[in-house]
Amino acid sequence: MLDKQHIIDRFIGYVTVDTESDPKSDTTPSTTKQWDLARALSKELIAIGMKDVTIDQNAYIMATLPSNVSHEVPTIGFISHFDTSPDFSGSNVKPQVIENYDGKDIVLNADKNIVLSPDYFDDLLLYKGQTLITTDGTTLLGADDKAGITEIVSAMEYLINHPEIKHGPLRIGFTPDEEIGRGAHKFDVEKFGADWAYTMDGSQIGELEFENFNAASATVKVIGKIVHPGYAKGKMVNSMYIATEFITSLPMLETPEHTEGYQGFFHLAAIEGKVDETHLHYIIRDHDKDHFEARKAMMQNLCEELNSQYGREVIIIEIKDQYFNMKEKIEPVMHIVEIAEAAMKSIGITPIVKPIRGGTDGSQLSYMGLPCPNIFAGGHNFHGRYEYVPVESMLKATELICKIAEMTASRALTGD
């Protein structure tokens, strides 16, 4: 039986360490404070009895739980990231533990009138009667993905303390900088040595994902001409107006707030503008590879059209691919998804198989030769003040890791 309080204490210990990543940094990890948790984790893994614990010069952590069976079993891995998103402050996190949630509003911060309400976040009602961990309304929580780390460490500890549960060789890996798209960039797949792995980085209990967006970023530079506004007729070219033409020429209903499921989008993430120069920062997302390529072509063609209309180069666009849909790499080895699905059902979890409207380290790792579906970690409302995680979901995720390990060993023995 997993110890609920032990899980709570471990999770709170992780989230109260600030590990916010920084997209403007060119180091790995992108912030030195990520080392604080990385070093603590490597020491903890040694303390609970893990073998081959390593932490490299970029703060990537790996460790092994050796097989306790005599027959040959595939080596499987479990991976999470320890950085938190720069979208919202991760400094001075003050978790609040809500026992036996009653289904009503949760006052996160009375002084600032910040309320977590099921009227707005109706997923809360799924967890009535359970124990929730929330923020105090001034920071994010960090369940993305310190819930995943909590579950992996707790599962390894449980398996070490319960050798009657038979399993093959297990590898675990913790990465920096996933939130800024670099979590897998320096991950040594060969050193990790797993046949396949799972990222514990999903949300709602039951989530099982092997499809994700194809992703690209686009930087659009709009060039104007600045002159004194009193003498501007026929001379001034306001780059912000041209930028507005560009923005409104893209499909206005193909944005994040108007799409769901398999629908892709263009997302204007930031604008910095003056008369003489404006910069637009977009992300481009689509599950379908052909649609993804068409979205990039649409933006490129729009730039060329505006340049033609103005008779000179007023727009310069740079598009960079970020990651691709892991489905292409997972479908040839679908048994790894089937094992996870069967394991969920065996411990009373209803699998929710759906595409990720985002990406994980697993999407990049799959293209690096390590097939890596994504499994729920339990948290909700990531990257903001309303983030929360049900403790019971973390307990189930921990149990699921153990069951996947046990089921993989059993199937290897029977040849299933």
Q: Name all contacts of 17-20 with Cβ < 8 Å and 24+ positions apart.
A: 18/84, 18/90, 18/91, 18/92, 18/93, 19/82, 19/83, 19/84, 19/90, 19/142, 19/176, 20/83, 20/84, 20/85, 20/86, 20/89, 20/90, 20/91
* Residue 134, token pair as written in the block: 């929330």
**Distance in angstroms between the alpha carbons of the first and the last residue of the chain:** 28
237 neighbors 314 (Cβ within 8 angstroms): yes
Our answer to whether residue 190 is catalytic in this structure is no
CA distance 402 to 167: 8
From 83, 151, 157, 286, the catalytic residue = 83
> 3-state DSSP call for residue 410?
helix
Radius of gyration of the chain (CA): 23
Strand order in the sheet with 132-134: 96-98, 132-134, 388-390
From 20, 44, 178, 387, the catalytic residue = 178
CA distance 394 to 151: 6
Q: For 128-137, b where at least 16 C-beta lie within 10 A, e where not — what string?
A: eeebbbbbbb
319 neighbors 284 (Cβ within 8 angstroms): yes
How many other C-beta atoms are found inside a 10 Å radius of the C-beta of residue 347?
A: 11
Q: Where are the alpha helices (DSSP H) in 352-390?
A: 361-367
H or E element: which one contains 278? strand 277-286
Our answer to whether residue 304 is catalytic in this structure is no
CA distance 259 to 209: 19
Where on the phi/psi map is residue 298: left (φ > 0), alpha (ψ -120 to 50), or beta? alpha
45 neighbors 38 (Cβ within 8 angstroms): no
378 neighbors 132 (Cβ within 8 angstroms): no
CA distance 403 to 375: 13
| CA 288 vs CA 245, 262, 285: distances in Å | 27, 8, 9
* Residue 16, token pair as written in the block: 């109260």
Catalytically annotated residues: 83, 178
